[in-house]
Amino acid sequence: MTVSSFGSIIRSFVDGVIALNEHYEILWHDLNEDVPLKVVEGTPINSFIECDNVRFIHNETFPLSLNKKDFTVEVKVLSSDVDYIFLCIRENEISITEERLYCLEKIIDSLDEGVMMSNSEGEITLYNEAQEKMEGLTSKDIIGKHLWSVYNYNPQYSEHKHTFKTGKPIYSRYRAHSTINGIPKYVNYSTFPIQKDGKTISVFSISTNESRLKDRLHQTIELKRQANVITQEKVHSKNGTIYTFNDIKGKSLVLLDLIKEAQNVSIHNADTLIVGETGTGKELFTQSMHNHSPRADKPFVAINCAAIPETLLESTLFGTVKGAFTGATDQIGLFEYAQDGTLFLDEINSMPITLQSKLMRVLQERLVRKVGSNDVAPIKCTIISACNEDPEKLIAENKMRLDLFYRIAHTSLYIPPLRERTEDVHFFISYFLTTYQEKLSKNVPDISNALHESLLRYPWPGNIRELEHLVENLIIRVPETAEKMEVEHLPSYMRGKIVTVLPANSLEQGDIIQRPLKKIFNNTEKQLIEATLKLANWNVSQAAKKLGITRQSLQYHIKKHDLEKPTFYK
């Protein structure tokens, strides 16, 4: 075999070959364009490669640098009648790989998201700076260690091992793997496999920096709040109101008829009494009537008669003159301040009887006299009053003067409670769910049938305001990972109030009935407990949670009704 033929064989595996004789003179060469070396055959190799006392040994390697490129030279010796030396030149890709790896690690360390990677043995191979800050650990202390030894858990529960084995990612977990000063450090993370040629070679997790997300969320909420405040201030700056009839929500016919009636009354500037329970929206109607009336560009002045002591209420309504009593100054009352607009007397049923007689005289004469003055001023404003109890009941109990009632109620409007408007309960559940998900920037699951049925049957003594607060609390409390919003996600003070009475056959269909046991008759109580225990596979703790009572209380009722756990549950 000739030198050139042997060299050609070697050349197919490397980037260049130079053949030398026993005197280290170049006999033949074949170099590709990536090897920046121009050699002349018959010339000593040390003319082209810096090497003193040239001596090449079979299979030895040495580095070679040419024009800032790194190469590796491997020596092959072919022995025949004479020895021939072949220098096999291969571009050194190790430095390129190391440089690329260094850059990638720097990029990963600059990310806001935490990154952690492990190998097939569960050993941590990568742990960036963001992950260090989130979990309070350092990469130098945990790189090379097993995940379960670092986080102190059983290896069989390792999510990385599971992902490595199945090749399937795990999305959106929220868990604390470490603690700082005894405080769990919760992170939101997803885990993914790294596969090559269809085989998993590594697993990594990306963790979200929850603190930054929360800061941004709070900033967004604050911006929305400020925008709402600015909008409300703009409306307030016109006449002191923020509501119109467009803000009154609901779908029931009785509510729609009431809105039409209120609109008709407001046009005639008649003094009006609005009757409705707490939370039904009396001030909402009052402001809407003002804005629908010819007085819309005039002031709207509101006062809660229950919030001001009797001694101050009189001077607040009628005004004072200097010296009328100690500390009194010249001050106009709300009747005069309202001018040609609307004065809203909220919770007028809380006004003391003695002051009711003075108010009645003012309304009858349409003249107001300041406290301590003999001068009178005409009343030009329209007066809308509101009370949260039945006027006839108040009159019968001597809490409201009959003659005052006739003065303030030239016409009256009655806002029915929410429990009489089932259609509106449906509407407001959906409306407030949408409103507060947007307001709180949080997505939540749908309401379960059991909870929805409970909300529909609840009497809502606090009316719309109570329903709004309950929905807001639900959205705050329910985890985003929950499949449905259940009664167990209600605030504790509400669980005992929600009462649902479903048909008996619903128990057989697997519906969970949520109601306090003390309000259920014994026969229904026993049926309820049996059905709930059955659905919970006779897990007493789970059944108690579904019923909204303590485990001890449920055990008492089990004993009370002589209930025994079936043998197939044992």
- Rounded CA-CA distance 284/302 in Å is 12
Name the range with the highest mean pLDDT among 8-12, 177-181, 270-274: 270-274
For residue 425, count CB atoms less than 10 angstroms from its CB and return exposed for 0-12, middle for 13-18, buried for 19 or more. buried
Taking residue 494's Cβ as centre, other Cβ atoms within 10 Å add up to 17
Q: What is the pLDDT of residues 19-54, one digit of tens each?
A: 888 888 899 888 888 888 888 888 888 888 776 555
- Pairing assessment for the beta strands 83-91 and 376-378 based on DSSP bridges: unpaired
pLDDT in tens, 354-411: 899 889 988 888 998 888 888 888 989 999 999 999 888 899 999 999 999 988 988 8
pLDDT number for residue 272: 94
Taking the model in full, what pTM does it have?
Answer: 0.49
**Nearest-angstrom CA–CA distance, 233 and 248:** 20
Backbone angles phi, psi at 121, to 5 degrees: -90, 0
Count of C-beta atoms within a 10 Å radius of residue 200: 16
Question: What is the reported pLDDT for 505?
Answer: 42
- Report the interhelical angle of 282-292 vs 253-267 (nearest 10°): 40
CA distance 117 to 147: 10
H/E run at residue 451: helix 449-457
Provide the percentage of residues in the chain whose pLDDT is more than 70: 82
Is pLDDT above 50 for 514? no
Mapping DSSP onto H, E and C, the string for 18-49 reads EEECCCCEEEEEEECCCCCCCCCCCCEHHHCC
Distance CA 289, CA 291 (A): 5
